[in-house]
Amino acid sequence: MSEPTRELLWGVSESIVLRLHYVLFAIATVIFILGVFRWYRILKTGRNDENRFDSLGKRFYYVVRDGLAFARLYMREEKMGIMHILVLWGFVLLTIGTLTLTVAEYITSSFFRGVFYLVFEATMDLAGLALFSGLVIAIHNRYFAKPSRFARKWELAKDDGFVLALLLVITLLGFVVEAIRISSGMPSYTAIIGGFISNLIPFDLTAYRVTWSLHSLLAMLFIALIPYTKLAHIVAAPLNILTRTERISARTIEDEEYMGAIEPKDLQWRDMLSSLACMRCGRCQDACPATNSGTTLSPMFIMQNLRKTLDESFDFIGRQRNDDVLLLDTVLDMEAVWACTTCRACMEMCPVYIEQMEIIGEMRRGIVESGEAPPDIRDFLTNVQKQKNPWGEAKYKRDAWAKGLDIPHAKNTEFEWLWWVGCGHAFDSRNQEVAKKLVRILNEIGISYATVGREEGCCGNDVRRVGEEGLFQLLQEENMALFEKYGVEKVFATSPHCYNTFKNEYEGFETKFVLEIILDAIRDGRLKLRHPVNRKVTFHDPCYLGRYNGMYELPREILRAIPGIELVEMPRNRENAFCCGGGGGNLVREYPGEDRPNNIRAREAGMTDADILAVACPFCMIMLEDGVKMEKLDEKLRVMDVIELVYQSVLGEE
The site for ligand SF4 (CB under 6 A) is made up of: 278-284, 287-290, 297, 299-300, 303, 340-346, 349-350, 352, 354, 356-357, 360, 579
DSSP result, 29-71: HHHHHHHHHHHHHHHHTSB--S--SSSHHHHHHHIIIIIIS-H
Our CB check for ligand SF4 shows the closer of 350 and 458 to be 350
Whether the Cβ atoms of residue 242 and residue 16 lie closer than 8 Å to each other = no
Our CB check for ligand SF4 shows the closer of 283 and 388 to be 283
- Taking the complex as a whole, the smallest distance from the CB of residue 520 to ligand SF4 amounts, in Å, to 31
Our CB check for ligand SF4 shows the closer of 300 and 616 to be 300
- Taking the complex as a whole, the smallest distance from the CB of residue 592 to ligand SF4 amounts, in Å, to 12
User: Chain-centre distance of CA 442, in angstroms?
Assistant: 37
Residue 580's nearest CA partner among 599, 553, 555, 552 is: 599
Our CB check for ligand SF4 shows the closer of 356 and 648 to be 356
Residue 589's nearest CA partner among 464, 475, 462 is: 462
- Taking the complex as a whole, the smallest distance from the CB of residue 304 to ligand SF4 amounts, in Å, to 8
Residue 455's nearest CA partner among 429, 418, 497, 428 is: 418
Whether the Cβ atoms of residue 547 and residue 343 lie closer than 8 Å to each other = yes
C-alpha 518/C-alpha 445 separation (Å) is 8
| Three-state helix/strand/coil letters over 170-233 | HHHHHHHHHHHHHHCCCCCCCCHHHHHHHCCCCCCHHHHHHHHHHHHHHHHHHHHHHHHCHHHH
Q: How far is CA 592 from CA 78, 154, 302, in A?
A: 35, 20, 18
Our CB check for ligand SF4 shows the closer of 344 and 437 to be 344
- Taking the complex as a whole, the smallest distance from the CB of residue 579 to ligand SF4 amounts, in Å, to 6
Q: How far is CA 627 from CA 191, 435, 577, 622, 638, in A?
A: 61, 22, 16, 9, 11
- Taking the complex as a whole, the smallest distance from the CB of residue 482 to ligand SF4 amounts, in Å, to 30
C-alpha 472/C-alpha 484 separation (Å) is 18
Our CB check for ligand SF4 shows the closer of 297 and 331 to be 297
Our CB check for ligand SF4 shows the closer of 280 and 589 to be 280
DSSP result, 98-166: HHHHHHHHHT--TTSSHHHHHHHHHHHHHHHHHHHHHHHHHHHIIIII--GGGSS--TT--SHHHHHHH
Our CB check for ligand SF4 shows the closer of 190 and 293 to be 293
- Taking the complex as a whole, the smallest distance from the CB of residue 285 to ligand SF4 amounts, in Å, to 6
- Taking the complex as a whole, the smallest distance from the CB of residue 547 to ligand SF4 amounts, in Å, to 9
Our CB check for ligand SF4 shows the closer of 327 and 579 to be 579
Our CB check for ligand SF4 shows the closer of 194 and 581 to be 581
- Taking the complex as a whole, the smallest distance from the CB of residue 367 to ligand SF4 amounts, in Å, to 15
- Taking the complex as a whole, the smallest distance from the CB of residue 250 to ligand SF4 amounts, in Å, to 12
Residue 313's nearest CA partner among 263, 349, 354 is: 263
- Taking the complex as a whole, the smallest distance from the CB of residue 549 to ligand SF4 amounts, in Å, to 15
